[in-house]
């Protein structure tokens, strides 16, 4: 019901009526609307992190791991539009992270935490550099890119005539190439950064 009706249409009373329970029982189970919606999202988040992990496992190359993960994320979102929209495209009340069955920060359950772990690996391989905040910035720029393509494709579907339709796979590949090239250039590894500075000094 939450997935089909969307967060804005859900009330404890409607859920109780749909399930055939009293509102008292539903309140006892979920406490409030925010918790109910949060727990409705758990299954989607667990499914998403599962496909992301499976995609990342296809290669040992840290850059390709991130690209594979991005492709899997986009494919999942486009294949599960109602679930994706509920989690990532609707305004909703927020419950404490403890209200979710998904453990916040657990790379086995939390899609964002898993994506962040890939950028930590990228740093460990000496391909980027930065403190924890900069690693989160990389993760969020990556996430914003793949979410942008996913959400635009869901909203501006085949019936939309305002923008030219592109070859989907080429579009996804190009997006991920641009994202990774930009991140590698913006957050260069420390040794590479020092080398560039040394070369500039020598040229002077």
Write a three-state SS string for 102-124: CCCCCCCCCHHHHHHHHHHHHHH
Closest CA to 184 of 64, 51, 75, 69: 64
CATH number of 41-191: 1.10.357.10
pLDDT in the model for residue 43:
87
pLDDT in the model for residue 202:
45
Q: Which residues 6+ apart lie within 8 Å of 163 measured at CB?
A: 156
pLDDT in the model for residue 149:
98
Domain boundaries, the chain: 41-191
pLDDT in the model for residue 24:
55
Check: CB of residue 111 under 8 Å from CB of residue 102: no
pLDDT in the model for residue 66:
99
The pTM (predicted TM-score) of the whole model is 0.80
In order along its 204 residues, the chain shows pLDDT tens digits of 555 555 556 655 555 456 555 555 544 445 555 566 666 788 899 999 999 999 999 999 999 999 999 999 999 999 999 889 888 988 766 666 766 688 899 999 999 999 999 999 999 999 999 999 999 999 999 999 999 999 999 998 777 888 888 999 999 999 999 999 999 999 999 755 444 444 444 454
pLDDT in the model for residue 27:
46
Check: CB of residue 187 under 8 Å from CB of residue 129: yes
pLDDT in the model for residue 20:
58
């Amino acid at each position: 019901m939450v997935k089909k009706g969307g967060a804005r249409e859900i009330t404890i009373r409607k859920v109780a009526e749909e399930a055939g329970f009293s509102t008292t029982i539903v309140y006892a189970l979920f406490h409030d609307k925010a918790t109910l919606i949060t727990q409705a999202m758990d299954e989607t988040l667990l499914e998403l992190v599962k496909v992301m992990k499976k995609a990342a496992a296809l290669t040992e190359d840290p850059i390709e791991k991130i690209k594979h993960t991005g492709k899997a994320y986009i494919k999942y979102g486009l294949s599960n539009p109602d679930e994706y929209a509920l989690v990532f495209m609707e305004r909703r009340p927020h419950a404490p992270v403890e209200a979710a069955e998904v453990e916040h920060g657990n790379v086995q359950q939390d899609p964002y935490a898993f994506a962040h772990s890939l950028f930590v690996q990228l740093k460990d391989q000496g391909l980027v550099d930065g403190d924890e905040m900069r690693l989160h910035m990389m993760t969020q720029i990556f996430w914003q890119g793949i979410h942008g393509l996913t959400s635009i494709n869901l909203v501006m579907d085949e019936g939309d005539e305002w923008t030219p339709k592109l070859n989907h796979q080429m579009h996804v590949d190009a997006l991920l190439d641009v994202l990774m090239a930009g991140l590698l250039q913006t957050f260069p590894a420390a040794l590479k950064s020092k080398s560039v500075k040394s070369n500039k000094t020598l040229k002077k």
